[in-house]
Structure 1
Amino acid sequence: MRILQISSATSIGGGEKHLADLANALAQRGHAVHAALRHNSPLVTELYALPQERIMTLPLRNSLDISSALKLARIIREREIEVVHAHLARDYPLAAFAVGRAAHAQLVITRHVLFPLKPLHRLVLRRVAYAIAVSRAVGESLSAILDPSKIVCVPNGIDLKKFEAIARLSVKDRLLVGTIGNLAPVKGHEDFIRAASLIAAKRDDVDFIIAGEDESPAKDMRAQLERLIRRLGLSERIHLVGRIDDATRLLVELDLFVSASRSEGFGLAIIEAMASGVPVVATRSAGACEIIEDGETGRLVPIGDARSLAETILRLLGDREERERLRRQALGVVRQRFSLERMVEETEKVYRQALTLSK
Structure 2
Amino acid sequence: MTESAQPAFRGIRVIVVAHGPPLKGGIATVALDLVEDPGLNAEFEMVFQNTAQNDSQRGKFAVENIKRAVADAFNTFRLARAGSVVHSHAVQDPWLVAWRQVCIAVAARARGARVLLHNHNQAPYMELPGEYKVSRLNRWAFALLDKLVQANILIAPAGEPNIRKYMPTVALPVIANSVVVETVPQSSAVHDPPVILFIGELLERKGIVILLDALDQLDAQGVGNYELRILGDNRPGLDLLKDQMVNEITARGRGDTMTGPVSRTEVYRHLSEADLYVFPTFTEGQPFTVIEALAAGVPIVASNIQAISNMITEGVHGRMIALDDTPGFAQAISELLADPQLRSQISQANRTLALQRFDRAVFRERIAELYREHGRAAQ
Normalised to the residue count of structure 1, the TM-score between the two structures is 0.82
Alignment check: 8 A CA contact 1:96 1:128 kept: no
Larger relative contact order, structure 1 or 2 (CA cutoff 8 Å, min sep 6): 2
How many residue pairs are counted as aligned between the two chains? 337
2:106 equivalent in structure 1: 100
Q: CA deviation at 1:171?
A: 6.6
Residue in 2 that maps onto 1:124: 141
Aligned position for 1:276: 296
What does residue 19 of structure 2 align with? 8
Shift of 1:207: 2.6
| 1:179-212 residue CA offsets vs partner (Å, 9 max, x unmatched) | 2223344322222222232233333332322223
Partner of 1:28: 41
TM-align CA RMSD: 3.2
Check 1:267–1:66 CA distance in 2 against 1; reply closer, same or farther (3 A cut).
closer
Letter in 1 for 2:17: I
Tell me how far apart the structure 1 counterparts of residues 263 and 278 of structure 2 sit (CA, whole Å): 16
- Contact 1:199/1:310 (CA < 8 Å) preserved in 2? yes
What is the alpha-carbon distance in structure 1 between the residues aligned to residue 207 and residue 217 of structure 2?
A: 16
Q: Which residue of 1 aligns with 2:76?
A: 73
Q: Does 1:146 align with 2:167?
A: yes
8 Å Cα contact 2:291-2:354 kept in structure 1: yes
Q: Following the alignment from structure 1 to structure 2, what is the Cα–Cα distance between the partners of residues 128 and 228?
A: 47
> Match for 1:124: what amino acid?
A
Q: In structure 1, what is the Cα distance between the partners aligned to 2:104 and 2:26?
A: 26
| Correspondences of 1:188-267 after superposition (within 5 Å) | 188-201=207-220, 202-213=222-233, 219-236=239-256, 238-242=257-261, 244-246=263-265, 247-267=267-287
Q: Which runs of 5+ in 2 are unaligned?
A: 1-11, 55-62, 124-131
Separation in structure 2 between the aligned mates of residue 171 and residue 137 of structure 1, nearest angstrom: 34
Q: Provide closer, same or farther for how the CA distance between residues 93 and 72 of structure 1 changes in structure 2, counting only shifts above 3 A.
A: farther
Q: Is the partner of 2:239 in helix, strand or coil?
A: coil
Cα shift at 1:235 = 3.1
Gaps of 5+ in 1: 42-59
Q: 1:124 to 1:84 in 2, by over 3 A?
A: farther
- The 1:293–1:227 alpha-carbon spacing in structure 2 relative to 1, beyond 3 Å, is same
By how many angstroms is 1:133 displaced? 0.6
Query: What secondary structure sits across from 2:264 in the alignment?
Result: coil
Query: Cα distance 1:133–1:245, how it changes in 2: closer, same or farther (>3 A)?
Result: same
Provide the residue aligned with 1:54 in structure 2: none
* TM-score (ref. length: structure 2): 0.78
CA distance in 1 between partners of 2:18 and 2:83 (Å)? 16
- Over 3 Å counting, the alpha-carbon distance change for 1:222 and 1:66 in structure 2 is closer
Shift of 1:334: 1.8
Q: Report if the CA contact (8 A) 1:72-1:95 is conserved.
A: no
- Evaluate the alpha carbon distance shift between residue 358 and residue 38 of structure 1 in structure 2; reply closer, same or farther with a 3 A threshold: closer
Query: Which has more strand, going by share of residues?
Result: 1
Task: Sort the Cα spacing of 1:193 and 1:118 in 2 relative to 1 into closer, same or farther, 3 A.
Answer: farther
